Amino acid sequence: MTRRAQLRGRAAVRRALVLAARGARPRECCGLLLGAAGRVDFAVAVPNIDKRPGRYRLDPAVHIAVRRLVRRLSPAVAIVGAYHSHPGGDAVPSRTDVAEAMYPDWLWVIVGLRRREPAVRAYRIRRGRPREVRVRWE
């Protein structure tokens, strides 16, 4: 996994992801990322409807509701990705994460809580290959 093009994200979004990950432990948290033009501006928490440990699944009804909402926003905002946590692991896509990444243009952000200081890393996952994307949180 190599680092690629840089994106920008709001520092408040990064903080929200870490808080959500810590708050959901021992389960995984998950949600959608909103933004435009190479930016991650907002995070929308979505219930994790997968009850199995070490797994997540976005609630499809909430996903659809967010899609409908963003179409009506001005200035234009889009779903640019999704996030989830690895409560006892690193911020690296698992085999399941890669296999289930159905949107190749999305940014997939993972919060790893294995270490004292949480790791927040982003990836593009295309054709079963994760590529790390550098996000500058400002």
Indicate left, alpha or beta for 54 from its phi (over 0: left) and psi (-120 to 50: alpha). left
For residues 13 and 43, is the Cβ–Cβ distance under 8 A? yes
39 contacts: CB under 8 Å, gap ≥ 6: 7, 8, 9, 10, 80
Confidence category of residue 6, pLDDT binned at 50, 70, 90:
confident
Give the pLDDT confidence score for residue 5 in this predicted structure.
Answer: 56
pLDDT of residue 53: 85
Q: How far apart are CA 26 and CA 71, in angstroms?
A: 34
pTM, entire model = 0.93
CATH 3.40.140.10 fits 3-126, yes or no: yes
Provide the mean pLDDT of the chain.
94
